[in-house]
Chain A
Amino acid sequence: MHTDWPLWEVFIRSKQGLDHKHVGSLHAADAQMAIENARDVYTRRMEGVSIWVVQSSDIHASNPDDAESLYDPANDKAYRHPTFYDLPDELRHM
């Protein structure tokens, strides 16, 4: 019995100079077919100039349950942002 082709995640660079961004996923027998299908499924309206495909099983993700321990420590470090510093109005070009 036939089983599904592997799942691939598709990333598209919308124009030269920008990052590739995740746009969705699709099934394909191999990488070449994944790129060809991604072209048909995700770039019908000039959405991209470059395509990356990555087999979904090769992606390692952080666990949402760890979100607190991973990201909360940044919460109380407002001094990492330029707006934290109270400087005189006459100060210019900074």
Chain B
Amino acid sequence: METVEITCPDQVFLDKLDRELKIEPKDWMPEPYRQTLIRQISQHAHSEIVGMLPEGNWITRAPSLKRKAILLAKVQDEAGHGLYLYAAAETLGISREKMYQQLHNGKAKYSSIFNYPTLSWADIGAIGWLVDGAAIMNQVPLCRNSYGPYARAMVRICKEESFHQRQGFEILLTLSRGTPQQRAMAQDAVNRWWWPSMMMFGPPDASSPHTQQSMRWKIKRFTNDELRQKFVDICAEQATILGFSLPDPLLKWNATTGHFDFGPINWDEFNQVINGNGPCNKERLDARRKAWDDGEWVREAAEAHAAKQKTKAAAA
């Protein structure tokens, strides 16, 4: 008698994950996996795009031509990273137009960190060191996530992101060797960016609804709390090189755990900012909408030009 092996597509999918094979756009995948990726990748893309705004604030006021060129290159990278990620999300069947709509009408989220203001030049240093540092901590494991186009985009992003963190640290280092006023300005920036950076890893594992599923799907490789602890351990050491303190009186080396202990995070603030009540939420979204609306005539002109060239070429 012939035995017929029946494998359901779900089993094939899970087997692939277990063997560390990548899932590619045309492969069968469970609908919740697809939706989770669309949500995560598009939020990530939005964060890159909105993330240009706080830093763009300082391009015209950078203290030297060198710093201005560096900041321009960094902001241009963020635009590129947003584009790689939008393209990766599109392979899952959502249109670019739809993602823009979701951002502009407030339906889609982006990283809460970009709803804080950049008050001084030292903020550009603190963002590079802490915000990009936290982002890299999150992003490096994403290079190994199970969805091919997302993983490939992340490899490219991580390669480019490394200079972002280093230039930030260098800004703070320069300020730390400056006048008392410059040191105070840098310490103030670190004080303001520390806790929002800690929140970038997301809610604690106990109240992170998607973590377990995302880890089974190999989208996520480490939990929020694991990554946050790694970040604290690294920054606590690096802060001593700068000679700045981190604004946490409970931050203390724990020889038993081999990690730094740290104080409680204000999750109420995090939820407020995520839900639209941060200091700059309105300003950020208004800026995005304005850029989109102001660009309308450019998009129309480009289309008209393309159509005209096509007609010309056909007639020739």
Which B residues are CB-close (under 8 A) to A49?
Answer: none
Q: Answer whether residue B83 sits at the interface, using C-beta atoms and an 8 A cutoff.
A: yes
B87 touches A24 (CB 8 A): yes
Q: Which residues of A contact B95 (CB under 8 A)?
A: 4
Q: How many A-B residue pairs have CB under 8 A?
A: 51
The secondary structure that dominates the B interface is: helix
Complex interface: chain A residues within 8 A of B302 (CB): 5, 29-30, 33
CB of A54 closer than 8 Å to a CB of B: no
User: For residues 3 through 26 of chain B, which have their beta carbon under 8 Å from a beta carbon of chain A?
Assistant: 24, 26
- Tell me if B153 counts as interface (CB < 8 A to partner A): yes
Whether the pair A44, B299 counts as a contact (CB closer than 8 A) is: no
Complex interface residues of chain B between 279 and 316 (CB less than 8 A to chain A): 296, 299-300, 302-303, 305-306, 309-310
Q: Is the CB of B305 within 8 A of A2?
A: no
Find residues 65-81 in chain B having any chain A CB closer than 8 Å to their own CB.
73, 76-77, 80
A: interface residue count bin: 10 to 19
Q: Which residues of A contact B153 (CB under 8 A)?
A: 24
Instruction: Take A27-B96, A41-B83 as given contacts and tell me if A2 and B299 are in contact as well, using a CB distance cutoff of 8 Å.
Output: yes
B160 within 8 A of A: yes
B96–A61 touching, CB < 8 Å: no
Which A residues are in CB contact (< 8 Å) with B303?
A: 2, 5, 29
Binary B-proximity of A15-30 (CB < 8 A = 1, otherwise 0): 0000000001111011
| Max chain A C-beta neighbours (<10 A), residue from B83, B160, B305 | B83
Q: Are A64 and B83 in contact (CB under 8 A)?
A: no
Q: How far is the CA of A26 from the CA of B79 in the complex (A)?
A: 13
Is the beta-carbon distance between A3 and B310 smaller than 8 angstroms? no
Chain A proximity of B163: nearest CB distance (Å): 10
Check if B87 sits within 8 Å of A26, measured CB to CB: yes
How many angstroms from the CA of A27 to the CA of B80 in the assembled complex? 13
User: Does B193 interact with chain A (Cβ within 8 Å)?
Assistant: no
**B225 contacts the other chain (CB 8 A):** no
**Distance, CA A53 to CA B160, complexed state (A):** 23
Instruction: Report yes or no: B306 in contact with A3, Cβ–Cβ below 8 A.
Output: no
Sorted nearest first, the 8 A-B pairs with minimum C-beta distance are: A30-B306, A29-B306, A29-B302, A25-B87, A4-B97, A4-B96, A64-B26, A64-B27
Q: A33-B306, A41-B84, A44-B160 are in contact. List 15 more A-B contacts (CB 8 A).
A: A2-B97, A3-B97, A24-B87, A24-B153, A25-B90, A27-B96, A29-B299, A29-B302, A29-B303, A30-B302, A30-B306, A30-B310, A40-B80, A41-B83, A45-B160
Q: List 30 A-B contacts (CB under 8 A).
A: A2-B97, A2-B296, A2-B299, A2-B300, A2-B303, A3-B97, A4-B95, A4-B96, A4-B97, A7-B90, A24-B87, A24-B152, A24-B156, A25-B90, A26-B87, A27-B96, A29-B302, A29-B303, A30-B305, A30-B306, A30-B309, A33-B302, A33-B306, A40-B76, A41-B80, A41-B84, A44-B73, A44-B80, A45-B160, A61-B26
Chain B residues at the A interface, C-beta cutoff of 8 Å: 24, 26-27, 73, 76-77, 80, 83-84, 87, 90, 95-97, 152-153, 156, 160, 296, 299-300, 302-303, 305-306, 309-310
